[in-house]
Amino acid sequence: MEKVGHIASDIGEYIRQQRNNAKISLRQLSKLAGVSNPYLSQIERGVRKPSAEILQQIAKGLRISAEALYVQAGILDLPSGGPVPDAIRADTELTERQKLVLLDVYESFRRENNHTDVPVQESEHHAEHQDR
């Protein structure tokens, strides 16, 4: 039972932090997420542990990924991906939206580089000549 309480308070604190980062009030988030104000308050205080469906509604209201909330709630494991994605996910200075954008850009560069066999030096050399 202690673990459930710990998880509930962690997710509640995380939701509160994301709400404060987004500069929206508890009342505004409750309207955006379609969750009652008292229930959302209980979630933030760690009194109630929200279901995956409620987390999805809250994520929508916060404009962050539901996956981020699922990871915080212990529903999903933190996705692995190496030192760069891990560093982006761990950065407390970034919002969830900023993290997702950075991860998308990073992954798109990796996919692009995997599809081309051009060494980095050649592509940099090619870019230098295009700029002239």
Chain-centre distance for alpha carbon 83: 17
pLDDT for 1 equals: 36
- Cα separation, 80 vs 124, whole angstroms: 29
Which CA distances in Å does 67 have to 60, 99, 125? 11, 12, 40
- Cα separation, 29 vs 57, whole angstroms: 10
Short-list 64, 8, 10, CA closest to 32: 64
pLDDT for 38 equals: 96
Residues of the chain with pLDDT under 70: 1-9, 78-81, 116-132
Predicted TM-score (pTM) of the model is 0.57
- Cα separation, 18 vs 27, whole angstroms: 14
Q: Are 107 and 84 in contact (CB under 8 A)?
A: no
Question: Mind listing the pLDDT tens digit for each residue in 6-33?
Answer: 666 688 999 999 999 889 999 999 999 9
